[in-house]
Amino acid sequence: MIANIPLQYGLGLAVMLFGLGLIGVLVRRNIVFILLSIEIMLNACGLAFVVVGSHLNQPDGQVMYFFILTMAAAEVAVGLGLVMQMYRKFNTLDTNAINRMKG
Amino acid sequence: MLDFLWLIPVLPLAGFAILSLLGKRISPKAIGLVSVIPTGLSAIITAIIGYGFITSPPANSAFSQILWTWFQVGNFTPAIAFHLDALSMAMIFVVTFVGLLILIYSTAFMAGDEGYSRFFAYMNLFIASMLILVLADNLLFLYLGWEGVGLCSYLLIGFWYRDAKNGAAAMKAFFVTRIGDTAMAIGLFLLFTTFGTLDIQSLSQEISQQPVVTLAAILLLAGAIGKSAQLPLQVWLPDAMAGPTPVSALIHAATMVTAGVYLIARTNFLFIHAPVVLAAVAIIGAITLLIAGFSALVQHDIKRVLAYSTISQIGYMFLALGVGAWSAAIFHFMVHAFFKSLLFLCAGVVIIALNQQHDIFKMGGLRKQLPLTFWTFLIGCASLSALPLVTAGFYSKDEILWYAWSSQSGGSVLWAAGLTGAFITCLYSFRMVFIAFFGEPKSTVSFKTPLRMSVVLVILALLSLAAGFIELPDISAAKITFQIISGITSLAGIFIAYLLFYGDRRFIGYLLGSRLSVVIRDLWFADWGFDWLYNNLLVRPYQWLAFINRDDFIDSVYDGLAWFSRICNQVLSFSVNGNVRWYVGGVTIGSVIVIGIAILL
């Protein structure tokens, strides 16, 4: 089944997802959407691992995806906690408004 | 006994060390003792060694004492070594004895000065350096002493440093002599690269007539000219009179300024192989003795008169060296050390007695007020004027005049210059006597000369009279004629000085009647305009250059670096704007660049 899908298609999808996530990170001002876009980028990477792993008939890609999944979960937990704190402190989620740390 | 030679310079050095470490903690009396005793011991050792040296001379009439190797670079191993021969014997004799007398005088002269211990520390360091200079066995060690005395001269001219004028005089002395010192250092480099040694004894055997020797002789002569204040580097000595009077007596009359004479006498093997340079020495001496004599004739400050007189007398020594009369030069050096330090010390008494009055025209009638000073000063002046038969100055100056005439490189011109100089010497020395000591008193003097000063003056006066009998001239018919001529010259000089300067000085009024003579007087007063010339030719252009380059252009490299980092700082701190998305953009662009490079390469 999955083996029938050519490598290029899978990787192309991963690149597209990664690009969408990156654009989201760059253009969105709301910190929650930025976190969301980072999740998309992470999952794009995960997809790339899985696709390549399946192409090479090796389980490593899927193992790697578990790592990414775990890390993403942890990241979201910490990230959302920080977002909560940020909202309490600044009453906004706009990253452009929160720019007090500068040189 | 000769083995104790090393103690002679070491004792004053120890005195310097003690004074500089403990000077602030011990009483003035103790300072006086600590400063006088080492030099006194040195003088005693000198006397004993001198006695041994004359009664049982060592082999080759010279004695070397090698203490240790100073340092070793390749096959260059200068030693800390002393060399004693007749020349250095005469020098250490003068340095230790005159030094001792002047130190004793200074203990009274400097009493109550806030820098009492500093003064004696410097004086001891000076005596030690001077002894190293005259005893050194190699030219590098000699150069150490040479720079040591230069340093002490600087420190002591600027001794009363609160007055900016004294500091300026000290710097002038230091800079002008430095010109000569630099030339001398280059001369030493040249000698070393050519002959591979700076040891005086081995140099004297290896030297032969070749162009490089002439060049080295010129460079050493430049050093001697700077130190001995000869034309054209004589401008520093009159200003050096800013220092305390005993300093002028010891450093700027008796010892340091004659270091140039010593250097030429010591390296005479070099100059003999460079006859052109030797002739230049004689000519420089002859011109210097004349122009300094004329300048001395119109000065008002008693110490400046004596300073110009010193330049003039060293001119005589150079003249003697130039015609190859080494011993006559050293003889005159010795006699000059006695009478010139005597004159300076008398001037010191006069200056204290009149509350720092230096102007001879504001003195007068001191003959009655300071009788002892008058008589000793008169003896000094008589010796300076070479009064026939009774004074030492007559015998030494007569030797020089005789050699200036009779030696191979001498001649009638040099002799005439010397004789004219002798005549001028009489004029200016008795001008001082008649103006300062005769006539109506212009101020009351309630100064009682301390015993220590009087004793020193009397001893030096006796030496100024008697030192000439050490070397009585051999009598020959030709020589007697010359002696009579120079004797008549000096008597005539004194008589004309009497006519010109005694009483109401009518003739001077006539002489200054014309415009031309006033111009000449002002020219002489300003040392023939040398200061003006150097100021406009060297000092002011240099200051101008320094001014336009006040932001050192080499600094612009470092300023540029600072400017560049400041620009980087501004750009980078603009990029750190606190905007998270901006940072993400930065990371993205960076990754794209890095990955792009990785792919392309």
Q: Which residues of A touch B577 (CB under 8 A)?
A: 99, 102-103
Mean pLDDT, residues B57-67: 81
Is residue A98 one of the residues assigned to a domain? no
Q: Which residues of B touch A31 (CB under 8 A)?
A: 580
Q: Confirm if B169 and B181 have CB atoms less than 8 A apart.
A: no
Instruction: Supply the DSSP string of B327-356, one letter for each residue.
Output: HHHHHHHHHHHHHHHHHHHHHHHHHHHTTS
Is residue A69 one of the residues assigned to a domain? yes
Q: Is the pLDDT confidence value at A2 over 60?
A: no
Of B238 and B62, the one with more pLDDT: B238
Is residue A22 one of the residues assigned to a domain? no
Is residue A77 one of the residues assigned to a domain? yes
Is residue A65 one of the residues assigned to a domain? yes
Q: Is the pLDDT confidence value at A88 over 70?
A: yes
Is residue A87 one of the residues assigned to a domain? yes
Which of B566, B571, B572, B581 best tests the A interface by mutation, with the highest count of A CBs <10 A?
B581
A102 with B576: Cβ contact below 8 A: yes
Q: Confirm if B143 and B200 have CB atoms less than 8 A apart.
A: no
pLDDT of residue B412: 84
Using one digit for the tens of pLDDT, what is the confidence trace for B345-370?
A: 999 988 888 888 888 888 877 888 88
Give the relative orientation of helices B371-384 and B392-406 as an angle to the nearest 10 degrees.
Answer: 10
> Using CA atoms, how far apart are residues B150 and B357, in angstroms rounded to an integer?
28
B581 with A99: Cβ contact below 8 A: no
Using one digit for the tens of pLDDT, what is the confidence trace for B96-148?
A: 999 999 999 998 888 888 888 889 999 999 999 999 999 998 889 999 999 99
Q: Is the pLDDT confidence value at B512 over 80?
A: no
Using one digit for the tens of pLDDT, what is the confidence trace for B262-295?
A: 999 988 888 888 888 888 999 999 999 899 999 9
Range of the structural domain that residue A74 is part of: 30-92
Q: Is B76 helix (H, G, I), strand (E, B) or coil?
A: strand
A26 with B580: Cβ contact below 8 A: no
> Using CA atoms, how far apart are residues B201 and B137, in angstroms rounded to an integer?
8
Residues 6+ apart with CB under 8 A from B304: B238, B241, B296, B358
Is residue A16 one of the residues assigned to a domain? no
Task: List the Cα angle B488/B424/B224 in 5-degree steps.
Answer: 115
Of A101 and A30, the one with more pLDDT: A30
pLDDT of residue A54: 87
pLDDT of residue B473: 64
In b/e form, how buried is each residue of A80-96, taking b as 16+ CB within 10 angstroms? Answer: eeebeeeeeeeeebebe
The gap between the terminal CA atoms of chain A, to the nearest Å, is: 54
Is residue A62 one of the residues assigned to a domain? yes
Query: Which residue of A lies nearest to B575 if distances are taken between CA atoms?
Result: A103
Q: How many domains does chain A have?
A: 1
Locate B202 and state its tokens.
């081995």
pTM here is: 0.79
Mean pLDDT, residues B548-561: 86
* Percent with pLDDT over 90 in chain B: 27
B576 with A100: Cβ contact below 8 A: no
Mean pLDDT, residues B1-19: 88
Using one digit for the tens of pLDDT, what is the confidence trace for B24-53?
A: 888 888 888 888 999 999 999 999 988 888
> The domain that contains A60 carries what CATH number?
1.10.287.3510
> Using CA atoms, how far apart are residues B228 and B256, in angstroms rounded to an integer?
8
pLDDT band at B324 (very low <50, low <70, confident <90, very high): confident
pLDDT band at B463 (very low <50, low <70, confident <90, very high): confident
Mean pLDDT, residues B395-423: 85
Q: Average per-residue pLDDT in chain B?
A: 87
Q: Confirm if B334 and B466 have CB atoms less than 8 A apart.
A: no
